[in-house]
Structure 1
Amino acid sequence: MNKHLPKIFLTFLSLVTFCCDAFSQTIYRKIENYKTYYGWAHNYPQDWMILRRFDNEDRNYLLMVNPQTLETKINESNFYQIKPMSIEQAREFFKNTPYVKALNKAEKQSVSIQDAGIESGIPKQTGISLTADLCPSHRPLDKRIFTDIFTEFKKVERPVPVALSITGIWMRQHPQDLVWLKQMQANREIYITWINHSFNHRVSLKAPLKENFLLEPGTDISYEVLETEKAMLRNGLLPSVFFRFPGLVSDQQLVYQVTNFGLIPVGTDAWLAKGQQPRNGSIVLIHGNGNEPVGVNDFIKLLQSKTRSIASKQWLLYDLRESVDEEFSEAP
């Protein structure tokens, strides 16, 4: 028997699993023992950093990140050589990768109470990375965002990349809207990077920022992070390595708590509803939950103004992971 066959088979299996993860992620309905678990996983020829471990229907699974590309995947643990590590050891092991460099930069930008984390990709990109937040809302999904970007880009860029910051409460309140988004992805009209936006997204109209959102006294950050990931998995969504703070509000301690989960905080340098104008490489923020029609209208106007540039591939939407990856691949 060819001694290389097992490696070839496992590599093929990994590719098949990645393709399935990318567009039709498995639904895990019986998640048990979901926990942080860090380390190195190897399946020829790729090294992965392990972030989570869980059981589902008597099988053990790993949630991992490719530290070179920031792509995540889920697979059964017995397909890999595994070396458990602490989060500190894992970051040291992968210290020269774009993923760990992005974590480090997010921590360096953690002092500000608003908009900590990665705010933009690389300026040489002729276009933007679009992020749309799905905070809890009684209003339906603003579908114009997705139908309009597909209409504008379908001839030059398909699927169209978009990053959605999703909360556990929104998933619970809007199952049909979530099905609609998943169908657009299954049809390869859009490609979604799912950003953890906390489970509850609590907000007070009266409390100061230092005691608001996730800074509200008594907040269980572990619940807010891990329960959102579990809700994603139960709904057939693949968690990414990104996290967006509700209200873009955090403090230095909270940023470090989030990076200790292996997640990269993502801010914005162009919140359209606040009048911030995007530049090349901008991470643009709009709200897709129906609560911010001004920002959505501004984005649609932006698309319309770029029609010719889009047609000639001079202005594109960039995958958030690739945008961050390219920036830190070039960093020393």
Structure 2
Amino acid sequence: MKQHIIGRTGALGLASALLAIAAAASAQGVVSPAPERIVAKAPAADPPPPMRVQNYRPVFQECHDAGKRRLLAIRAMSVEARRKLLVVDPTSLATSLADEVDLTCADTNDAAQKDTRFMAAIAASAQASGHASTAQPSVLQNAGLSHGAGEGSFITGDLCPSRKPLDRAFLQGIEALGPATPVSLSISGLWLKRHGADFQWLLHEARAGALAITWVNHSFHHPYVPGRPLSKNFLLTPGVDIQAEILDTEQILIANGQTPSVFFRFPGLISDAATMDAVRGDHLVTLGADGWLVFMPPLRPGAILLVHANGNEPEGLRLFSKLLGQGRLPRPFRPILEAP
């Protein structure tokens, strides 16, 4: 697939808008990297092999480190036979991997943590149900956090499974706005498995300080069948194990040395009540978008911009560059952790 259904099939009635945008943007190029862009040595030809991650499972615990800092553990696992926890700072929403032995933890629950910014963000995104499909009322479209707080906007790029290479030129254009330009990449497990060189390039750019990447969970398989009704498509496909789609993506990120964030974006921005409950139950914030460029600007401050950097949406990337050059995208670009 391998784009969201809104841009591919006109499920939201935007096919004509997309065609108009493609025509208007056809003469526009991506943002050219500025000469001062951070340049680092090319990534190593042979990256380290993935780490062994086992017994990966959801938990919910309140933990304290040696400095009495409060953290919330949402996953437990072993990494190379060392017991680890994926923990969230309940105020900043930042995630990290911690050695279990370094923390003092006890089981907790949603009610006990309801006053934290973390739980408030989860609850708000779960209640933001987007809008129901006219033809299929049980289907939710663009549910979750679709607009951020404050000024500026938030760049998010989806990495759905694709046969095409990563659009590095577009990302280099983003880097020209930096250093450490914040960008959230919604990554599918299959994209990571099939695009090892592109993934290593992204890590190289982040280590060089050119990009500040937040990894958003975009499911592992990102199922999609053209022409199939939405109620039986994407993660609503019969037989899909929603929790496996969530956990397997987190696990492959960790195996490759990266830390998953607290955000989850549904493939196609398509969900229903049951899948929304599953994401909430795994203590993740559902991420939508109010600035998918096919919606046409002007965009409001706080816009969550959505483009595809997986090679499948050149028109959207050109339009982004055009709007950026015209000063029509809300600035500054901010980390997605500041959106809820």
- Is this a same-fold pair by TM over 0.5? yes
**Aligned partners of 2:210, 2:55: CA distance in 1, in Å?**
35
Q: Given the superposition, is the C-alpha separation of residues 64 and 203 from structure 1 closer, same or farther in structure 2, using an over 3 Å criterion? A: same
Q: Does 1:45 align with 2:68?
A: yes
- One-letter amino acid matched to 1:67: P
Whether the aligned pair in 2 keeps the contact of 1:66 and 1:72 (CA below 8 Å) is yes
SS in 2 for 1:258: helix
Alignment of 1:124-143 (within 5 A): 124-125=150-151, 127-143=152-168
SS in 2 for 1:64: strand
| Distance apart, 1:306 and its partner CA | 2.5
Q: Does 1:244 align with 2:260?
A: no
The alignment-based identity, stated in percent, is 35
Q: Does 1:54 align with 2:87?
A: no
TM-score (norm 2): 0.80
Structure 1 residues 21-73: Cα deviation after superposition (integer angstroms, max 9, x where no partner): xxxxx986111111111110101231111100001233100001011011000
Q: Does 1:101 align with 2:120?
A: yes
**Aligned partners of 1:315, 1:291: CA distance in 2, in Å?**
26
The structure 2 residue matched to 1:316, chosen from 326, 332, 337, is 332
The structure 1 residue matched to 2:277, chosen from 256, 269, 290, is 256
Whether the aligned pair in 2 keeps the contact of 1:28 and 1:56 (CA below 8 Å) is no
Q: Does 1:114 align with 2:135?
A: no
Alignment of 1:61-210 (within 5 A): 61-85=84-108, 89=109, 91-110=110-129, 112=131, 113-122=140-149, 124-125=150-151, 127-151=152-176, 153-154=177-178, 158-210=179-231
- One-letter amino acid matched to 1:78: V
Q: Which structure has the highest helix share of the two?
A: 1
**Aligned partners of 2:290, 2:183: CA distance in 1, in Å?**
16
- One-letter amino acid matched to 1:255: M
**Aligned partners of 1:227, 1:269: CA distance in 2, in Å?**
27
- One-letter amino acid matched to 1:287: H
| Distance apart, 1:111 and its partner CA | 6.3
Q: Number of aligned pairs?
A: 284
Q: Structure 1: which 5+ residue stretches go unaligned?
A: 1-25, 325-332
TM-score (norm 1): 0.82
Whether the aligned pair in 2 keeps the contact of 1:273 and 1:286 (CA below 8 Å) is no
Q: Structure 2: which 5+ residue stretches go unaligned?
A: 1-47, 132-139
Q: CA RMSD in A?
A: 1.8
SS in 2 for 1:93: coil
- One-letter amino acid matched to 2:338: E
Structure 1 residues 126-147: Cα deviation after superposition (integer angstroms, max 9, x where no partner): x210100000000000112211
Whether the aligned pair in 2 keeps the contact of 1:60 and 1:76 (CA below 8 Å) is yes
Q: Given the superposition, is the C-alpha separation of residues 280 and 166 from structure 1 closer, same or farther in structure 2, using an over 3 Å criterion? A: same
Structure 1 residues 199-227: Cα deviation after superposition (integer angstroms, max 9, x where no partner): 00010112111111000111111210111
Q: Does 1:226 align with 2:229?
A: no
**Aligned partners of 1:33, 1:78: CA distance in 2, in Å?**
17
